[in-house]
Structures are given as structure tokens and as C-alpha cells.
Amino acid sequence: MDSEVTSPSMETFTMATNSSVIPGSSASLDPPDIAVLVVYFFFILGVGLWSMYRTNRGNVDGYFLAGRDMVWWAVGASLFSSNVGSGHFVGLAGSGAAGGIAVGGYEWNGMLVVLMMAWLFLPVYIAGGVYTMPEYLKKRYGGNRLQIFLAILVLFIYIFTKISVDMYAGAIYIQQSLGWNIYLAIVLLLALSAVYTVTGGLAAVIYTDTAQTVILFIGCLILMILAFIEIGGFSSFVDKYMASIPDYTVQHYPNYTCGIPRADSFHLLRDPVNSDFPWPGTVLGMTINSIWYWCADQVIIQRCLAAKNMCHAKAGAIMCSYMKILPMFLMIFPGMISRSLFPNEIACQTPEACRRVCNNPVSCTDIAYPKLVLELMPTGLKGLMMAAMIAALMSSLTSIFNSGSTIFTMDVWRKVRRKATERELMIVGRVFVCVLVVISVLWVPIIQSSQGAQLFVYIQVISSYLQPPVTVVFVMGIFWKRANEQGAFWGLMLGLGTGLLRMTLDFIYPEPACGEPDTRPDVIGNFHYLYFAIFLAGFTLIVQIIVTLLTPPPSEERLVRLTWWTRFDHCEEENEEDVEQDEDKAEQKDLQPEKAQEEKSSDKEAMQTAEGAPNDTASKPSLLKRGYQWFCGFSSEQSAGPTAEEKVMMTSIKEPRTWRLVLNINLVFVIAVALFLWGFFA
């Protein structure tokens, strides 16, 4: 912090909280807004029920991977809406209000990394025939400890940086608009999100994501237009943002610089030493975290694995990359405009002033987007924007719920219950969603007081401490054939131990409030989290290389179709049986006796039914029971899994020449657009 000052007076706080409210504005929704919300909920419920009706939810492949039958536009829309949840609305806008456009680097970095995923990582995952990312590590490196360890780690990451963050962000919006208690709002959001996730599986999640993406775009576009009209255009926006200083900061405390906008607010690349986003960290640190998120996170990869084929998966990634251009304009700029219009509220810097504005003594920048909606949107459109915010929250939460339950079911429960039936696996996956919810609610108070209350910064800080070691293990597994299980395990363990140590120190020595002296150790206060991500990735890489070279290399059989260099091994046409045997032979062997017993029992019941009288209804389930079985995906007619030929097709990564050319042309064009945006705003 720049200097230590005396706290402003209570009279100053009163002025700060009331001076810039638009006259006649209302912090509640009118009846037309409520009507829009009701229509939205019925619409989403209809889409969810339709998707449940048309898709196979009666087996593991259908429930967790939507039968691998998703078309490119559904994949692309689901990728974008799963990524851009309510945490983005609240967090990106809040960080933009606090420090300018540099936080948008995460979005435009993602434009490039999502393409890296589709062209370099995804072919290996598809060729390997995996359901989950921990399962890939088991197949690639061997053993069970990497798979189980990563599964547990990923679930913790989901709780710390995804579920609880999105719940908190959505609750902030509801709290601002309806005045509800934040925990009541969280419970309501969870109830809305869990229904079709638990019952419908991934297909319901993807189709509802697609519908909600349209609502998101319409609502955000309208708000952006209204915001730029209100502030008088882009030039006026720049001038007013740079002058958006709380009144008490200027009038009463001229040395109180915490509330003054940064001089580099409109620069993506900033000073490498004395800035909030040093440019080496922006270029390298962001990329390391993005590789984990876009190339090795179950939430993202699961959508691509659900695509019909490799071409549909790549086309979905390209669509998502195009859409990643938008958050800078639809979320960050509006957040900055909100500060320009309401500097005393959004840029409050003292605990008393912030507590009066948003009931959070740390900062109120995270209310920038909700406040803009409530102040600028006319009646009716407020309801639309409320629907858009809830759509963002629900699409993100349902995606994470589905992916988290997939990881726990396929990578943890199947180790505990090796003979679990498919019905049992689906029940366990549904129940585990509830466990995730409870743990995440308990973590919300920590988020509320972390990292200056900038929600997006909190997400990236935790990510920088936990994700780089995982990134290294996946990158080395795919691109270095010599990498073995011992090197990967010890690299991951020592890297994560170092990251957890830094994260613990961050909680012990929190960032000081504005105007307070920074008494943190240098390793905390002067070692930026993006630089730490670079250090952590380098440390993990060195450990993995050293241990790998000191231990035996993996066998050639271990590498078949599981690295970039061996992804075409055992071509589908010539070795269909080999491909089938490569798909997790050990797990399938464990499940075969139970499946055989199920089939025998099913055949016996069918014979008994056939021998009975045609009008004998005693053996048939009641109408209520059949309705329950359909709703939960347990109908007998939906219980068949994929055939051997379908399994071979699922692991095919071949692309027609024409479509491959079209996709590659789009790849080059998107990369050019991303580089232009970086250069223009650098």
C-alpha cells in the first residue's frame, strides 16, 4: 500500500454511500421483471425435460457423456457458458472496476489455449477412450495413486474456485436486487440448479447451456449498449473512468491513493515489478493456469468428449474461441463504466463506507455489474438481465456438478466398489452432487473476505497455487514418451506441497486493507501469484524430469494411443479388437462378472414374462414407478450401453479432408484475431 492514513469521518461515509445514486432508481424487481423470470424458468424447464426425453440416460456413457452425440454448436455454446458463469459477471466486472482491462487477458489468453486443447490434447484423450482426466493419468502412467490423488485434488479445486465462487457471485446479485440474505439466496440457487443436473445428466446440461447462452448474449449486449449511451461513448468512458475517485479520498485525504484508478488501467501488459498484472506473469503465468483449465479440466474436456466426432469437437472449440472475444466488451467495460458512474459506492476504500454500501468491509467492486443492471435497465429488461445472470450461474454450476460427480463416480467409487453396477454408479453420481453442495456452502465465508473481495482475483490466486503441477504432469504425459509414473507422482506431490504451503501463508498473512502498512513477509507480499505459478510449474518440471531419468522408462504398450506421438497406433480399421482391449481393460474386467449376472437375471425375467399370460400385470411396474424410473433415467429400455462398433468409433480421431481444411483455416483466422486484440490493447 502507498501510505498509512487516518480513517475518514462518519460524515464522509454517509456522503460516500449516497452521493451518486441515480434518482428514482430501485433496487427491487417490478412485476414485469418477475414475469420475465417466470417465463425464463418455464423455458429452461421445458428445454431440460425435452433433452431428458430425447437422450439415453440409462447407462454410464449416456448419463456422463451424453451418449457422445453432441453437435458442434451445442458443444461450443456449452463450453462458453460453462466457462462464463456468474463468477465471471461479478468477478470480471469487479476486477475491471478496481484495476482496468488487464484482467481481460485471461479471456483472450483462453482464446488461444482452447484451440490448443482441440488440436493437441483432445485427440489423445479421444484416442485413449477415457471418461475422465484422472482416468487418463492412470492409463498413461499406470498404477492407481495418480488417478485417485488427482480426482480428490480436482474435487477440492472445484469447491474452492468454482462451485462456492459461482454460488457467492449469484447470491450477490440476488442480494443486491431483492435484498435477501446471502445464504438464503445461495440455497435458492442450488435448488434451481440441482434438479435437471441430477436427473438429466450431461445431455440436459449441454442443451440447457445452449439455450442459456442465447439469453446471456442478449441481456449483456443490451446492458453494454445502455451503459455506453449513459456515459457518452468510449472517449468519455476513458476520461470518466480515470477520474472516478471517491469524494472523500480527494476532498479529505489527498495522500489516500488507494481509491485512485491506475495510470495503466487501459493496458493489458503492465510493468513487470510494480503492477497488479506484471506482463511476464500475464504472458506465461496466465498460460500455465489456462492450460490446466482448458486442456485438462473435466468440465471442459467432458463437453468435447461428448461431441459426435473429432470435427464437431474442434468446431465447438472454434466457436467458443470466437465467443471468448466478448467478455472484455460485455463484462469488463460495463464494470468499469459502473465505477465511472458510481465511484463512491463501487470504489469505496474504508471498512465503514464499504459496509454501508454492500455489507462487505473489504471492498464493493464486486457489486459493479449488479448495480449497473439495477440502475440502468428499464422495467422488464431488469428481469431479462436477472434471467441472464441466473442462466450464467446455473449453466456453470450444473456443468461443475456433472463433472464433479463423474470424477468421483468413475475414479474414486469404482476403486472402492469394483463390481458396482451401472445403476449404482449413476445413483452415487447423483448423491455426490449433494455432498459437493454442502461443502461449498461452508466455504463461502472464506471467499467473502479474500483478496480484497475481488472475486476473479481470488479464483486466479487459488488456481496459481494448485494448478501448475497438474498442468506439467499432463503436458509431459502427452508430449514426452519417456515420462513415467514415478516422475509424475513425485513432481505432482512436491509441486502441490509447495503450492499448498504458499496458499496457507496467504491465509495466515492476508492482504492489508487500503491505507494499512504491508507487514507480510517478502515471499508473500512481493512474490506475485502469477510469478509464483511460473516458479511452481518450473519446479514441478525439474522434479519430474530428474525422477523420471533416475527410474525405468514406461513400456511401449503403456504408450499406445496415449501420447501425441502414438495417438494413431493400432488404426481402427486394422485392429478393432486391440482398440477395444486398450480401453481400460482392468476396469472392464472387474465389471464383467456383475454385468453378466445382470444380463442373466434380465434374461430370466424376460423369459418368465413371456411365459406368463399377456394380460398379467402383476409383474409390470406401476405407472408411478415407471414415471419415477424414466425421470431418473432408470427405464429398462434405456439400459443398453454402446456396442463394440460404437466404442471403436468413439476412439476414432480421423477427420474428412475437406472439413479438416475448413477447421484449419478457421484456426489460423482466430489466432490472428487474438493476436490483433492483444497487440491493440497491450
User: d(Cα 265, Cα 256) in Å, to the nearest integer?
Assistant: 18
What pLDDT, on the 0 to 100 scale, is given for residue 591?
45
Task: Note whether 302 and 403 are within 8 A (CB).
Answer: yes
What pLDDT, on the 0 to 100 scale, is given for residue 54?
58
Hey, how many other C-beta atoms are within 10 angstroms of the C-beta on 522? 7
Q: Which residue has the cell 484423450?
A: 125
Hey, how many other C-beta atoms are within 10 angstroms of the C-beta on 606? 11
Task: Note whether 353 and 242 are within 8 A (CB).
Answer: no
Helical axes 310-323 vs 72-83, angle rounded to 10° = 40
Name the pTM for this structure.
0.77
The sign one gets for the Cα dihedral 488, 491, 497, 500 is negative
What pLDDT, on the 0 to 100 scale, is given for residue 576?
39
> In terms of Cα–Cα distance, which of 655, 670, 669, 672 is closest to 122?
655
Q: Which residue has the cell 464499504?
A: 354
All 3 cell numbers of residue 28?
427491487
Task: Note whether 86 and 168 are within 8 A (CB).
Answer: no
Helical axes 286-296 vs 468-479, angle rounded to 10° = 60
Low-confidence ranges of the chain (pLDDT < 70): 1-29, 45, 47-69, 85-87, 164, 170-207, 209, 248-258, 391-396, 440, 443-455, 513-516, 570-650
* Residue 600 burial by Cβ neighbours in a 10 Å radius (0-12, 13-18, 19+): exposed
**Local structure of 309: helix, strand or coil:** coil
User: d(Cα 89, Cα 388) in Å, to the nearest integer?
Assistant: 10
- How many separate helices (H) and strands (E) can be counted in the chain? 36, 0
Which distant-in-sequence residues (6+ apart) come within 8 Å of 182 by Cβ? 168, 171, 172, 175, 444
What pLDDT, on the 0 to 100 scale, is given for residue 319?
94
User: d(Cα 577, Cα 389) in Å, to the nearest integer?
Assistant: 48
User: d(Cα 88, Cα 603) in Å, to the nearest integer?
Assistant: 51
Task: Note whether 512 and 1 are within 8 A (CB).
Answer: yes
**Local structure of 22: helix, strand or coil:** coil
Task: Note whether 186 and 165 are within 8 A (CB).
Answer: no
For the chain, domain boundaries: 27-512+520-561+663-681
Which distant-in-sequence residues (6+ apart) come within 8 Å of 42 by Cβ? none
- Angle among Cα 457, 86, 135 to the nearest 5 degrees reads 80
In CATH, the architecture of 27-512+520-561+663-681 is Up-down Bundle (1.20)
What string of DSSP letters covers 289-342? Answer: HHHHHHHH-HHHHHHHHTBSSHHHHHHHHHHHHHHTTHHIIIIIHHHHHHHHH-
**Local structure of 489: helix, strand or coil:** helix
pLDDT in tens, 438-483: 776 776 666 655 544 566 777 788 889 999 999 999 999 999 999 9
User: d(Cα 403, Cα 63) in Å, to the nearest integer?
Assistant: 11
Instruction: Bin 219: left if φ > 0, else alpha if -120 < ψ < 50, else beta.
Output: alpha
Which distant-in-sequence residues (6+ apart) come within 8 Å of 268 by Cβ? 101, 102, 104, 105, 108, 282, 678, 681, 682
What pLDDT, on the 0 to 100 scale, is given for residue 624?
61
Hey, how many other C-beta atoms are within 10 angstroms of the C-beta on 676? 10
What pLDDT, on the 0 to 100 scale, is given for residue 341?
92
Instruction: Using only the alpha carbons of the chain, give its radius of gyration.
Output: 26
Distances in whole angstroms, Cα of residue 617 to Cα of each of 169, 605, 627: 52, 14, 16
pLDDT in tens, 261-320: 888 889 999 889 888 889 999 999 999 999 998 999 888 898 888 888 899 999 999 999
Distances in whole angstroms, Cα of residue 143 to Cα of each of 135, 156, 231, 554: 11, 22, 59, 12
